[in-house]
Structure 1
Amino acid sequence: MSITDSRPAHHTVTAIVVSHDGTRWLGETLSALLAQTRPVDRVVAADNGSRDGGADLLARTLGPNAVLTLPRSTGFGEAVAEVLKRLEPAGGVEWIWLLHDDCAPAPDALLELLRAAEADPGAAVLGPKLRDWLDRRLLLEVGVTVDRTGRRDTGLEDREFDQGQYDGVRDVLAVSTAGMLIRRDVWDEVGGLDPFLRIFRDDLDLCWRVRNAGYRVRNVTRAVAWHAEAAARRRRRITVSGAHPRRLDRRNAIFVVLANLPLRPLLWALPRNIAGSVLRALLFLLAKQPANALDEIVALGSVLAHPGRLLRARRARAAGRARNHGAVDRLLTPPGAGYRRLVDRARSYLAGGPVDSAGRHHAAAARGGEDGEELLTDDAGATRRVFGNPGVLLFAALLAVTLVAERRLLGGGLLGGGALVPVTGGAQDLWRLYTEGHHPAGLGSDAWAPPYVAVLAALSSVLLGKTWLAVSALLLGCVPLAGVSAYAASRWIVPGRWRRIWLASCYALLPVATGTVAAGRLGTAVVFVLLPVYAALATVVLSGARRRARRAAWGLGLLLAAGTAFAPVVYPLTLLLGALAALAFPRRGVGGSVAIVFGVPVAVLLPWLVQLAGDPGRILLEAGLHRPELVDPALPAESLLLLSPGGPGMPPLWVTGGLIAACLAALLMRRDRMVIAIGWGVALFGVLVAVLVSRTSVTAPGGDGEAPAWPGVPLAFAALGMLVVAALTAGRIAEFRAAGGARRAAALGVVAVAFSTPLLAAGMWAVRGVDGPISAGARDALPASVKAASRDGERTLLLRSRGGGLTFTVLSGRLPLIGESDIPSPDGPREAVGVAVAGLASGRGGDDARVLAAHGVRFVVVAAPVGPEISRALDSQPALARMSLSRELGVWRLTQPVASPPAAEGDPWHARWLWAQALLVLVALVLAAPGSRTGGAADGVPQDAPGTEREPVAR
């Protein structure tokens, strides 16, 4: 092939077009190339075995002598190298202009690239700004960078339009080979495109080597080209390699990073890539994309399995690598950008935003500086998006109110009091409590630990083993968490941002919430946060597309299991409402989804539910202690109607009057009658159940006698129904306000009354603070003298005066862990010890002390107040020796030998079920996770259209 210079000049440009099954774009590409205002000096094309007439089109346009035909399996870099072998160097400074068959440059693209080259003699590679082929306003690239795990980063928002925001000439780590202008002498010096990287990441590797050689790589935004990204978007078949494109891309990504980093950064990047690939594979499995998970692992293995190839590549790139690493390192994606991208994707998914199967990201990322090698980040844009989000602002406001109200709980010491057992131990202790077959605490028990212990253990594990932090987040943070939960979940139910803010703030500041914190009710706190999510997922189950409804059903089933574990009354409430909803809205497949929702909790909690069925009254109790002083035994009906469950921490009844008035105003609306009826039906159902619960007393698991149930959970159901009704009908109130006259005045009055509820509730709670038995300085019920004198296995009998009677608790040398108080003791030992306690308290002699000794009790401790009657009765017992006595505490010790607790026997059935339970939870998580039909992309590049997958690199 012989090609002569057409116009010798100081700058000579040779354009090389590589074609492969790209006829649908090639004609426009060639027309754009030949229409350049600064004409190219010579044009050469290589066709890699096109089967759509591409070679003929090239020959007709450029002439047969300007077209080189190559095998179909030839890579892009190999094609360019073959062309350059046949071309003699041109005069002057020769530039090679690389063009894909689906890349059409603007008429002045080459002119602008050469102007930038003349302005900066150190620039050896220049690239245009790339826009989308179809939507020509859409930005694709203004240069690219990469992080140390190989994640390619364009630094652009999802579907960001070109408004001149990146205009200028800037240093970047790399530019795409689609429109790349590179000096031929530099190409020869660095060895051109690596033939091992036949497709994907070859441009990144080339530019990295150019920068290590001491040259600059720049993006010129005045030069524009439109790129179809045909291979990346699967618009044509990729035949240069037998491997799957995603696998090939991921392999090349890891290879390029490990080949080009200096030794010290490599030593950190290698384990980071291994850990990252394993984590990504696990995430792909959870997202039901096993093929992508396999690609991730095989890609990593294909690099690590050939260390010789990697070492040869590192030797070939050794020149200048360490010397120029500082300049390159400033252009790599900062380590925090990946985490910001992950947070943005999570926020987008939780808010119902588009998270497609390609795994597109919305994070702002690194870009090269305007002058010099400075890395700029768009943190300001990310900050504006985060702190401009109404949900974030709502959370911040509720958090501020919470911190003020809980000011006396934010100090050191044990958090406890009311229904909350003083928080001790860590995640390891909770896991042991949940998994052990025999519990030595108290009088010993073979019963199942309550499943909420496993939930707390998992959350504590995430929080570095800090159980106190997990409990504090759930209990003390339930108000802001419930606000965010209601705001996010109402997106599927209530239109309008301000309506959702009002609904969320009213819900978060209900008397149920303030009473929950004051009384230390961890179970209600968890359910209170989850309840809006239940409503949102139930809406999807009943009305969503079948596949989406099934995923929502599995997710709702898992969350319902968690809520049931903390407060069992949740399950029958939702079961009845779900059955009625399924009958009221019959759709194909709804029955199966509803069965999943209510079948998952039964399957996951089965052994504990069987245990619960033996004492059905416990369904009305929740996690924690059950003390009569925490419940108002004569709760008036007006309190329940005003959504006040009674007990400590309740605001005045008039605080919620505005909410009730707004909900009653909805009854006057003539529209949305069905919505109003459903909402009020839920509300009345919740109030009715609350009335029944508040009038019921239940025997506590520890055997401390009758304990009245608290109606907080059913009132939360009722309040949510009312709030949804009021929020959905708020649009009609806006119409009244626009009508003028009396209607306008009435509408403004309703709005004012409605907004009074969250404002009054927040103000009252902030001023009064948390008014209840919970405190941050809970006392250890076991005196130091008892702890010092007790031996392993010895127990302590703790006596308390309560309600004119005496209650007892058996402790095993330490404070009980969360959950131990909810493990039922065996009836026989409990009754025997109860009889012995009654005998001791009455001063009756006999075998009472021997009964205690037979059950391992060595110490008897009387908590404040210590009355003279009980102290005299215990002093009269010859088998008890007083150790100390005051009005605050009394301690006695048994003088006779104490029996050791029986050794626990292994229970293989218990261990097998724990493994089965873990498997059930894992399966439900996988089925609840969002999946995709075509699999996720390896990097953050969006899909082109539904059902069309894009590869994570532009080509």
Structure 2
Amino acid sequence: MLCVLVCHDGDQWLSTALSALRRQRIRPRHVIAVDTGSTDRTAKVLAEAGDLLDGVLTAPRGTGYGTALRIAVDHAVERWGDPGKWLWLLHDDSAPEPDCLAALLTAAEVSPSAAVLGPLCLDWVDSRLVVEAGLSTDSSGHRQTGLSSAEHSASFQQSTEVLAVSSAGSLIKREVWHSLGGYDEAMPLLRDDLDFGWRANRSGHLVLCVPVARMRHARAATKGARRLDATMARPGPSFRGVDRAHGMRTFLVNCSSSSFLVGVPRLLFLSLLRALGFLLLRRFADAHAEVGAARYLLTRGRLLQGRRARRGSAVVRGLFTSRLTRLRNAVRAGATFLIRRRVEADAALGRLPATDSGSAWLEPSEVDSRLVGPSALPAGASRGRPRVAGLRRPPVVVPVDAALPGALRPSPRPRPSPGPRGDSGMVFVEVDQSRVLRSLLLAPPVLLLLSLSAVAVIANWSRLGLDLAGGRLLPVGSAGSVWSTYLSSWHPVFGGTAAPAPAALAVLGLIPGGPSFAVAMMLLGDIPLAALSAYIASRGLRVRRSVRAVVAAFYGLLPVATTAVAEGRLDVVVVHIVTPVVFAGVYAVLRASSTHAWLPMASGTAIGVAVLGAFSPLTHVVVIVGALGGFIAVTGGARRIAALFVIVLLPMGLLLPWPAVLLQHPEMVLNGLGAAFESPPPNLIVCSVFVAAAFAAAVLRPNASMLPGLTVIVLAVGALAAVAAVGAWPGTPLVILAWGLVCVVLAGCQRGVTPGVAGQARVRRAVYVVGVVTLVSLGVAGFLDLRTGPLKADGGLALNASLTAELERSGRSVLILGSPVRQVAGRMPAFGDDDLVPTVSSPARLRRWNSSLLDGAAPAVKVALGQAASSGVTFVVVPSEEASARIRSAAGELVSEAPRALDGRPVLRMRLVADTGVLLAPDLARRARTGGEPPSELGADGVAPVNVSLPDVAVRVSPGGEGRVLVLAAEDEPGWQISVDGAQVPVVRAWGHLVGVPLPSGGAEVRVSVSSTLRDFLLLGQAAAALFTLLTAVPTRRRGVPGAPPQTPPI
């Protein structure tokens, strides 16, 4: 047997590797070391091991692994003629166990068809962790081991047929080595072992992973502990670049012809797609590696030459990792992650599993136990060659870090452990999967979500649907209509306004599923979503999960929130759901250390603050004030200052141009978002339970962690006083107050808090009883609140289908009488209309029309109808049949009945000339410009309807008399631009409030538009802020210390 040890700058591991080689129970006949230009102490260490080595060969520093092996094998053949039947390949960072070579030879003797055998590769520091158990690949060239981040070595017992084994410790028949030409020297490092194993399988040879043979492997190149000097040219020396390039090349040169033809463009496209994804994740090195790998395939890959050099026609099946297997691996990895998190949480609280049949600490003897007898035979020992899909999987054994911080230990000193305490601080817990599955399904957050979801569904059963409207919620349109409204420079509401649309429309337009789905989920699922938000926000507190779940249920069943749902107060509902995570994010940013990834945390919090600001400007102000106060009270470094600027300024950019509207109309900050709706104040008797609970927690278990909650309470009280001063509904500040009280209660429930009074056991029992009774009471109160209220799933006010089609086709207006009165053109009222800022004269004008039509005498009714017709009103929706009869009686022939609205309200059609534009004769034009009233009789002379599309108008007017005026059904306000035959002309105000265009006596081309330069500039700023936020909010992958070498274990 010939053993070849290849070395390259590995003096920190080489001594251990040589010691392990010297302690082999069966020693190789010949041992040759190859030093590929090491610049450390490698040459000296090899010289000191002269009694073990039969020779030390040197090669240039850029020599690849396959070339070094060829040099050693050629030297051995030239020197000894026949150096042996087998080749045993070793790295300078690999240390085989004493019986490793003997186990490999035994497996080869039992399975004569095996040509390539590899040991089970263990972690260099902790031999209980398996890092490699055979190799495979998928159709994208990704290296697959079939292992999670840490598998237990005792779980691997039987030899398994695999696609390839690692080059470290592999045992290869020399004749197979020569027949296959050794490792492909076109790949100096990485994936050469996978390529060789694939070629061996294609040639009809058996490749086995023998877990009885074990070897520690530091994986220095993989961990970045040394440079890849053999791949200095592109795509090297980046490990990621070389790994991806050689991985894709390995797949392409060994796959079938059809896979090759499809694979080349597919892999190039996927590489560019992954590079784009890495750029979005700010993993620039990985993105560069993907681009470099694609360039390598196109330029230096030598794919056709490599395919021609491959021999063998055997079909290799069952040894690759399919997409289904990768999906199964991902699901299993997710389940293992949840199990590990659960066990680590129990370990942090001092509740490690007991030694029973379900889950137990592994004894050292159990860790090292191995199968014997027939069950330990390798896969090739039996008749035939059964193919095993993928790699063998062990049972669930979870590694847990035992080196817990002192603050998390249940006692000042570490508890005794039945498992070994090595340098890695790692212990293994064998977990009963069914038991863990039951604990996960019955976990407090799962029960919390399911139970409150059931309550929400039952309570909202009568309004289940996506077309919710009523109370303060107007119907929400489709995604297209919502975005059209948000991006439009002019809105046909209140007679027309150029005010910016509320930012809430953009938020709803971005939510997957559409705006209607988003609104329905938030309103109908407010209780479980708010409770889940509170549970997640409290995860940083050392409180039992059951206690957190109960307190979160209290918050989810907040009476003011259930009332807000029943009344369609979407602003309060959003505050109820988002407030916990936003305040938790602000606290995390203020307390973050310099080692944390502060930018993703701050940007993510800024997104939450912007969502709150879009629906509730008052909550936005409260959060900003709280962040500034926390910044002053809590000391920190320069990064915390930058994070504060992100939290304060970035949401303003995300909401542009909406903050400018709020600065001009500060009353909207206190009134919130939504239609005007009168309702009694919420019941504060039930809310007082939260105050009592927080007071009890502060008295019984006072501690410093209550300060953030107390700060939120102070801010909420200030907001409540401001809202009460203007008579607005106090739902938003009450929700903020409730969250502050919840924070105080949770802070008092933390572990390790010194009680403030004696008799804790009796008090605790009383608290449990009162808590259960209160929770049930809140559930009943919330259920009763949700069963009533104006919110319904009927889509809101809608006209007959024929009238709706006519309205959309003509662009004319509908006037809806009542409280409040609305005028909308081209459609029915929709969400966000009542938050648009009307022109100065519009509110008074609409109230005057409403009063005249519902309560006025016949002359006042006719005047109001004439004015409405001049503003483009075609249909009038009347609140009752009695009011409709009075209007028809007073108006006479000016109106006629139309099909009723879908909710039964009467609808009247205007018979006066009404359109989006009218052309007035000179006499009537003079009357319009001097403040006269529009004509209120049928067949009035001097009025010609002109149907135009507002706000961008382009018409050609025929010749006529001097002094004519084209009147548009749009309110006059700054920003209108008019050109007649290319010349700019000033706007003429008609009938006291409409846009008028003076016309010459001859024919003229008229163009009208609304200037939106400033608004467009603000929208560009919003887009830039959104792009920056999305790019920086993506969490970066946690990395270890680059270049940190693995520790060396004693042997």
TM-score bracket for the superposition, by shorter chain length: 0.7 to 0.9
Q: Per the alignment, do residues 641 and 107 of structure 1 end up closer, same or farther by CA in structure 2, a change over 3 Å counting? A: same
Structure 2 residue aligned with 1:79: 68
1:496-555 CA-to-partner distances (Å, cap 9, x unmatched) read 433332332222222243233323333223322221222222222322214645553333
Counterpart selection for 1:303 from 297, 305, 308? 297
Structure 2 residue aligned with 1:28: 16
Are 1:667 and 2:698 counterparts? yes
Structure 2 residue aligned with 1:9: none
Return the alpha-carbon distance in structure 1 between the equivalents of residues 335 and 294 of structure 2.
Answer: 25
- The one-letter code sitting in structure 2 at the alignment partner of 1:872 is R
Q: Per the alignment, do residues 808 and 73 of structure 1 end up closer, same or farther by CA in structure 2, a change over 3 Å counting? A: same
Query: Alignment partner of 2:2: what SS?
Result: strand
Q: Per the alignment, do residues 194 and 469 of structure 1 end up closer, same or farther by CA in structure 2, a change over 3 Å counting? A: farther
Query: Alignment partner of 2:172: what SS?
Result: strand
> Within 5 A, what are the aligned runs for 1:362-511?
372-375=387-390, 387=441, 390-411=444-465, 414-426=467-479, 428-440=480-492, 443-460=495-512, 463=513, 466-511=514-559
Counterpart selection for 2:1020 from 906, 915, 919? 915
Structure 1 residue aligned with 2:619: 570
**Does structure 2 conserve the Cα–Cα contact (< 8 Å) formed by 1:16 and 1:43?**
yes
1:575-618 CA-to-partner distances (Å, cap 9, x unmatched) read 33233333333444455543332122223334211111222111
**Does structure 1 conserve the Cα–Cα contact (< 8 Å) formed by 2:6 and 2:91?**
yes
Structure 2 residue aligned with 1:245: 239
Query: Alignment partner of 1:422: what SS?
Result: coil
Structure 2 residue aligned with 1:718: 737
Return the alpha-carbon distance in structure 2 between the equivalents of residues 582 and 857 of structure 1.
Answer: 54
Return the alpha-carbon distance in structure 2 between the equivalents of residues 254 and 595 of structure 1.
Answer: 44
Q: Which moved more, 1:853-862 or 1:815-824?
A: 815-824
Return the alpha-carbon distance in structure 2 between the equivalents of residues 949 and 409 of structure 1.
Answer: 62
- Deviation at residue 760 of structure 1 after TM alignment: 4.2
**TM-score normalized by structure 2?**
0.75
Return the alpha-carbon distance in structure 2 between the equivalents of residues 818 and 174 of structure 1.
Answer: 62
- The one-letter code sitting in structure 1 at the alignment partner of 2:835 is D
Return the alpha-carbon distance in structure 2 between the equivalents of residues 343 and 273 of structure 1.
Answer: 30
Q: CA-atom RMSD, angstroms? A: 3.8
**Does structure 2 conserve the Cα–Cα contact (< 8 Å) formed by 1:251 and 1:300?**
yes
Q: What residue ranges of structure 1 are gaps of 5+ in the alignment? A: 1-12, 354-368, 644-655, 698-708, 937-941, 951-955
Return the alpha-carbon distance in structure 1 between the equivalents of residues 63 and 617 of structure 2.
Answer: 65
- Deviation at residue 209 of structure 1 after TM alignment: 2.8
Structure 2 residue aligned with 1:14: 2
- Deviation at residue 873 of structure 1 after TM alignment: 0.7
> Within 5 A, what are the aligned runs for 1:404-803?
404-411=458-465, 414-426=467-479, 428-440=480-492, 443-460=495-512, 463=513, 466-546=514-594, 548=596, 549=598, 551-589=600-638, 590-628=640-678, 631-633=679-681, 639-640=683-684, 642-643=686-687, 657=689, 659-669=690-700, 671-672=702-703, 674-676=704-706, 678-687=708-717, 689-690=719-720, 692-694=722-724, 696-697=726-727, 709-731=728-750, 742-762=759-779, 765=782, 770-790=787-807, 792-802=809-819
Q: Per the alignment, do residues 910 and 225 of structure 1 end up closer, same or farther by CA in structure 2, a change over 3 Å counting? A: same
Structure 2 residue aligned with 1:704: none
Query: Alignment partner of 1:563: what SS?
Result: helix
1:91-121 CA-to-partner distances (Å, cap 9, x unmatched) read 7993322111110000111122223333334
Q: Per the alignment, do residues 203 and 441 of structure 1 end up closer, same or farther by CA in structure 2, a change over 3 Å counting? A: farther
Are 1:129 and 2:120 counterparts? yes
Return the alpha-carbon distance in structure 1 between the equivalents of residues 276 and 724 of structure 2.
Answer: 47
Q: Which moved more, 1:765-774 or 1:573-582?
A: 765-774
Q: Per the alignment, do residues 509 and 846 of structure 1 end up closer, same or farther by CA in structure 2, a change over 3 Å counting? A: closer
Q: Per the alignment, do residues 543 and 853 of structure 1 end up closer, same or farther by CA in structure 2, a change over 3 Å counting? A: same
Return the alpha-carbon distance in structure 2 between the equivalents of residues 691 and 48 of structure 1.
Answer: 77
Structure 1 residue aligned with 2:34: 46
Are 1:37 and 2:25 counterparts? yes
1:771-822 CA-to-partner distances (Å, cap 9, x unmatched) read 33223333452221302433534234242444xxxx3223334345543442
Return the alpha-carbon distance in structure 2 between the equivalents of residues 553 and 389 of structure 1.
Answer: 30
Question: Max radius of gyration: which structure?
Answer: 2
1:362-394 CA-to-partner distances (Å, cap 9, x unmatched) read xxxxxxx98741346789869679647654454
- The one-letter code sitting in structure 1 at the alignment partner of 2:801 is A
- Deviation at residue 20 of structure 1 after TM alignment: 0.7
Are 1:173 and 2:142 counterparts? no
- The one-letter code sitting in structure 2 at the alignment partner of 1:851 is Q
- Deviation at residue 326 of structure 1 after TM alignment: 4.9
Q: Per the alignment, do residues 926 and 527 of structure 1 end up closer, same or farther by CA in structure 2, a change over 3 Å counting? A: same
- Deviation at residue 202 of structure 1 after TM alignment: 1.9
1:690-711 CA-to-partner distances (Å, cap 9, x unmatched) read 35425634xxxxxxxxxxx332
Q: Which moved more, 1:719-728 or 1:54-63?
A: 54-63
- Deviation at residue 401 of structure 1 after TM alignment: 3.5
Q: What residue ranges of structure 2 are gaps of 5+ in the alignment? A: 346-377, 380-385, 397-432, 918-947, 953-1008, 1047-1051
Q: Which moved more, 1:325-334 or 1:823-832?
A: 325-334
Q: Per the alignment, do residues 209 and 478 of structure 1 end up closer, same or farther by CA in structure 2, a change over 3 Å counting? A: farther
Query: Alignment partner of 1:536: what SS?
Result: helix
Are 1:226 and 2:216 counterparts? yes
Q: Per the alignment, do residues 280 and 207 of structure 1 end up closer, same or farther by CA in structure 2, a change over 3 Å counting? A: same
**Does structure 1 conserve the Cα–Cα contact (< 8 Å) formed by 2:700 and 2:755?**
no
**Does structure 1 conserve the Cα–Cα contact (< 8 Å) formed by 2:122 and 2:215?**
yes
Q: Which moved more, 1:294-303 or 1:755-764?
A: 755-764
Q: Which moved more, 1:883-892 or 1:190-199?
A: 883-892
Query: For this pair of structures, how many residues does the alignment match?
Result: 866
Query: Alignment partner of 1:726: what SS?
Result: helix
Structure 2 residue aligned with 1:58: 46
Return the alpha-carbon distance in structure 2 between the equivalents of residues 31 and 268 of structure 1.
Answer: 49
- Deviation at residue 915 of structure 1 after TM alignment: 2.4
**Does structure 2 conserve the Cα–Cα contact (< 8 Å) formed by 1:506 and 1:758?**
yes
Return the alpha-carbon distance in structure 2 between the equivalents of residues 693 and 350 of structure 1.
Answer: 44
- Deviation at residue 483 of structure 1 after TM alignment: 2.6
Counterpart selection for 2:823 from 770, 787, 810? 810
**Does structure 1 conserve the Cα–Cα contact (< 8 Å) formed by 2:148 and 2:333?**
no
> Within 5 A, what are the aligned runs for 1:68-147?
68-88=57-77, 94-147=85-138
Return the alpha-carbon distance in structure 2 between the equivalents of residues 869 and 763 of structure 1.
Answer: 41
1:156-190 CA-to-partner distances (Å, cap 9, x unmatched) read 3434443x123322233332111122233333344
Report which structure shows greater RCO (CA 8 Å, sep ≥6).
Answer: 1
- The one-letter code sitting in structure 1 at the alignment partner of 2:469 is G
Structure 2 residue aligned with 1:158: 149
Query: Alignment partner of 1:450: what SS?
Result: coil
1:868-905 CA-to-partner distances (Å, cap 9, x unmatched) read 13333145423322223599232222222412453333
- Deviation at residue 197 of structure 1 after TM alignment: 1.8
- Deviation at residue 284 of structure 1 after TM alignment: 3.5
Return the alpha-carbon distance in structure 2 between the equivalents of residues 871 and 566 of structure 1.
Answer: 40
Structure 2 residue aligned with 1:148: 139
Are 1:825 and 2:838 counterparts? yes
Structure 1 residue aligned with 2:306: 313
- The one-letter code sitting in structure 1 at the alignment partner of 2:139 is R
**Does structure 1 conserve the Cα–Cα contact (< 8 Å) formed by 2:490 and 2:498?**
yes
Aligned-pair identity (%)? 31
